[in-house]
Structure 1
Amino acid sequence: MMSSMFIGATGMKAFGEGMGVVGNNLSNVNTIGFKQSMALYQDLVSSFVTADSNNITNISQKGMGSAISMDRTLFTQGAFQPGSANTDVAIQGKGFFGVSKDGKTEYTRAGNFRFTMEGELVDPSGWTVLGRTIDKNGNEAGSASPITLDFSNSTGGIGYTPGQASSWVQSVSQLGGLQDKAQQAGNPFFAMAASWNGTSNPPLGVGQFSYSEPIEFYDAAGNRQKATIYYDRADTVDGMNIVEYMIAMDPALDGSSRAGTESAGLLMAGTITFDSGGTMQGLSAFTPPAGGSPADLAAWLPAGVKNGMPEFSANVKDAGEQRVGLDFGLRLPGNASQGLASAADAATNASKLATPINGATRQQMVTTAWGNSPASRSQNTDGFGEGYLRDVTIGEDGMVKGVYSNNQTLELARLVLYRFTSQDGLRKEGGNHFAATEDSGEAQEGIPGKENYGTLAQRSIEQSNVDYAREFTQMIITQRGFQMNSKIVTTSDQMIQKALELKR
């Protein structure tokens, strides 16, 4: 009877500890990244009892009760809920974030991170998140370290990014319905260019072009500048329709040798060849005279070509010179002269302008002569002005990016994930942290989304994986188990009391 009382007491103790596991799970139902536990029960050592000789075996044992063998953590995926900042991230799949403080490293599934005033990316407990730094050239470090960013606008800081000069400008248009307004005897293809006068205001009269489009580019200092592309219908040669174009900027901003002359502000002039269906077949481009009169067509020389685009030289006052490619949507295989030594040769060799360029390739967006009225279809440039840090985001691959006021993004760092040979061997440290142990093995560092590491969900946090239904069911089972074992104790006590009464 004494042993039965002991057995009941062990059961009460085991189920009491089991209720603690259930209670801990339910108390952390709203804890970010929390992983629920499961109490595993085991029986205690059994004692041998003398067996009767008539038994099948000579082994007879009597149980001595139960106990909690272990409190196992269940690392199942928790549901996601929207975060409140761009630095909230959740892990979808395997892995843990690494966090560091005072030289000690721990691991967590809770990704509710924030930047401090000093630029450290920390969790709510003040531990700094580990990641790989990325330098100004885009080179990523090979191993992780605490993420600390310099948000200042000073040299080396990420709060400011300088502008970038344009190396190309795209202007794709629909040029149907153009009229031939600029006309000069003996000059059917460059009448607009010959009519330009950089010393007049305006330098090109309204009656000297059929259609114009403003374009923007960024000068060598990263400042936004404006220019204009003028279009006019030219001649029809061998069934091909020729359109002349000219690109120019404000003569007052010209910092080249053309400043103060009639050629001031000119950047480029040429022709575009269309077949009868309005499809672009050819392109010519010439750079203006270094000075003097634009009417000297012999001084208009073939423009250079880079990456299939004719280039013009933009020398903005106080900013310096830069080379800018002009993209109409047709990539040229060689030069842009179409066999002409200068713009003056076009009048006597018009058939060269009308000949489609072999090897030229049309892009997805290309200038056409469709429709009955001209219009712009697409304009773009690779340049941009100076910008200031507006926000920081974290992508699915862990990339930490700065978003700037000039619509540019800059890669600043990358979050890494850690996995273990046995994550069941991790030790809970509180504050949503785990520590590596000999049972878990060493942490293995990797990049989100690669080599069986999980991906990151942007602007999300992982909720606790506690299952309400499971925990309440387990609570009832645990409560009943405790009650039944307490009944064993009270019943055994009554039996002992009855035995003592018999002695009296």
Structure 2
Amino acid sequence: MLRSMYSGISGLRNFQTKLDVIGNNIANVNTYGFKKGRTVFKDLISQTVAGASGASATRGGVNPKQVGLGSQIAAIDTIHTGGSTQFTGNTLDLAIAGDGFFQVSDGSEMMYTRAGNFYMDSTGDLVDGDGRYLMGLQGKPSDGTDYVDEGDEEMGLPFDPDDYTYGKIQIPKTASSMSIGQDGTVYFVDTTQAGKDAIAAEELLFRPQEATLKAAIKGAEVALKADPEDQGLKDALKTTQDNYDLAKLPLDQAITDNKAVLQVAGKLQIATFSNPGGLDKVGGNYFRVSANSGEGNPGFALDQGFGKMESGFLEMSNVDLAEEFTEMIVAQRGFQANTRIITTSDEILQELVNLKR
């Protein structure tokens, strides 16, 4: 009787653990990038009442007689299937369609996450909700203000590693807009203050001449309209127009040279693992490398073996409520059945005690 009672107790413990895992899954049904857990059972050691015997010339073989002593937890797996994506329209909301984890760091430890709700802080660095830096390759500023130019906008391999540095991704404060490609390249549009100053300086030189030259052009046009065949008037109009264009040329050139152009701030790097199920969950949507996960394999979205990056989307939890509620019912009934074993064993023991009466 005690044997069956303790078997029931082991079942109660295991189904309680299963309910704990289910409860955590349901609690995180709307957590971005959350990966559900799964509880797996295995049996405990069995007590051998009689061993097996082989066949002989006069008698067949006999199987062993064993009584199991209950169950135990075999594993609590993390299921890394992809969750559905939700459109947000926010450029810094990122989802990885396929394999890979975002890499974030606080300067002392690298963490990995599938939650792609990122932000830009006051210094232009891309960070997550806890202020950890989003990591990748960043264009080295050549003079403190300029970033990698449009000629390297694809940043595809092979590229000159001297042009880039690994670390946090930073957008200059003068950027007017930004976008992120499916390969993780971070683009921005920027008109520097130096460019604005150059345009303003040329405007100061041109504007005083503009009204005078436009008035001269207007006068020449009126005179030519009165006498369209006068070659002298035609030449005068052309000379006046050329003078206007010549005076305006430095301003046009300044605007052309300093117009807002697409530039590259860097390229987000993601990591894959040979055994993502071996990563440690540490809370806050973070995973940490463990002894059984293997070291991270860094790379870029769209590379072979890596997923693509979607800007303006977030990956939702991969928890399926219908599945979780079904598992909850099974766990509840399993828990209930094990309590019946304990209750029944107790009643039999009570009958044995009553034999003395």
The amino acid that maps onto 2:312 is R
Q: Measure how far apart 1:202 and its partner are.
A: 2.9
CA distances 1:250-281 after superposition (whole Å, capped 9, x unpaired): x9xxxxxxxxx9735428xxxxxxxxxxxxxx
The aligned residue for residue 171 of structure 2 is: 149
The aligned residue for residue 119 of structure 2 is: 114
CA distance in 1, matches of 2:214, 2:324: 84
* Structure 2 gap segments, 5+ residues each: 54-58, 141-146, 156-162, 176-187, 200-212, 226-233
CA distances 1:288-336 after superposition (whole Å, capped 9, x unpaired): xxxxxxxxxxxxxxxxxxxxxxxxxx743693896xxxxxxxxxxxxxx
Distance 1:142 1:440, change over 3 A: farther
The aligned residue for residue 250 of structure 2 is: 319
CA distance in 1, matches of 2:127, 2:238: 62
CA distance in 1, matches of 2:347, 2:276: 48
Q: Secondary structure at the match of 1:383?
A: helix
CA distances 1:354-412 after superposition (whole Å, capped 9, x unpaired): xxxxxxxxxxxxxxxxxxxxxxxxxxxx93755xxxxxxxxxxxxxxxxxxx5x43221
Distance 1:73 1:206, change over 3 A: farther
Q: Note if 1:7 corresponds to 2:7.
A: yes
The aligned residue for residue 57 of structure 1 is: 62
1:77-96 alignment to 2 at 5 Å? 77-83=82-88, 85-96=90-101
CA distances 1:206-244 after superposition (whole Å, capped 9, x unpaired): 6969xxxxxxxxxxxxxxxxxxxxxxxxxxxxxxxxxxx
Q: Note if 1:383 corresponds to 2:259.
A: no
User: Equivalent of 1:263, from 233, 236, 239?
Assistant: 239
Q: Note if 1:17 corresponds to 2:17.
A: yes
Q: Measure how far apart 1:198 and its partner are.
A: 10
User: Equivalent of 2:320, from 467, 476, 486?
Assistant: 467
CA distance in 2, matches of 1:86, 1:262: 51
Distance 1:55 1:204, change over 3 A: farther
On the 8 A contact 1:199/1:264 being kept in 2, the answer is no
On the 8 A contact 1:151/1:158 being kept in 2, the answer is no
Q: Secondary structure at the match of 1:119?
A: coil
* Structure 1 gap segments, 5+ residues each: 166-196, 210-245, 252-260, 268-313, 323-381, 387-405
CA distance in 2, matches of 1:411, 1:57: 76
The amino acid that maps onto 1:428 is K
The aligned residue for residue 183 of structure 2 is: none
Distance 1:266 1:502, change over 3 A: same
User: Equivalent of 1:67, from 64, 72, 81?
Assistant: 72
Q: Measure how far apart 1:148 and its partner are.
A: 3.0
Q: Secondary structure at the match of 2:91?
A: coil
The amino acid that maps onto 1:3 is R
The aligned residue for residue 308 of structure 2 is: 455
The aligned residue for residue 429 of structure 1 is: 282
What TM-score do you get using the length of structure 2 for normalisation? 0.73
The aligned residue for residue 221 of structure 2 is: 205
What TM-score do you get using the length of structure 1 for normalisation? 0.53
CA distance in 2, matches of 1:150, 1:199: 43
Q: Measure how far apart 1:452 and its partner are.
A: 2.3
The amino acid that maps onto 2:47 is S
Q: Measure how far apart 1:83 and its partner are.
A: 2.1
CA distance in 2, matches of 1:32, 1:90: 10
Size of the alignment, in residue pairs?
300
CA distance in 1, matches of 2:272, 2:282: 17
CA distance in 2, matches of 1:150, 1:52: 77
Q: Note if 1:129 corresponds to 2:134.
A: yes
On the 8 A contact 1:416/1:445 being kept in 2, the answer is yes
1:270-281 alignment to 2 at 5 Å? none
CA distance in 2, matches of 1:142, 1:52: 69
Percent of matched pairs sharing the same residue: 33
Q: Measure how far apart 1:52 and its partner are.
A: 8.0
Distance 1:55 1:126, change over 3 A: farther
CA distance in 2, matches of 1:52, 1:462: 55
The aligned residue for residue 105 of structure 2 is: 100
Q: Secondary structure at the match of 1:266?
A: helix
The amino acid that maps onto 1:73 is T
The aligned residue for residue 36 of structure 1 is: 36
The amino acid that maps onto 1:89 is L
Distance 1:89 1:199, change over 3 A: closer
Give the alignment's Cα RMSD to 1 decimal: 3.6
Distance 1:481 1:318, change over 3 A: same
Distance 1:321 1:119, change over 3 A: closer
Distance 1:208 1:62, change over 3 A: farther
Q: Measure how far apart 1:72 and its partner are.
A: 0.7
CA distance in 1, matches of 2:189, 2:214: 42
Distance 1:200 1:10, change over 3 A: closer
CA distances 1:9-68 after superposition (whole Å, capped 9, x unpaired): 000000000000110000001111101111111111112212487783353322111122
On the 8 A contact 2:96/2:114 being kept in 1, the answer is yes
The structure showing larger relative contact order (alpha-carbon pairs under 8 Å, at least 6 residues apart) is 2
Distance 1:206 1:412, change over 3 A: farther
On the 8 A contact 1:39/1:68 being kept in 2, the answer is yes
User: Equivalent of 1:489, from 338, 342, 346?
Assistant: 342
CA distance in 2, matches of 1:69, 1:460: 36
Higher strand fraction (1 or 2) = 1
Higher helix fraction (1 or 2) = 2
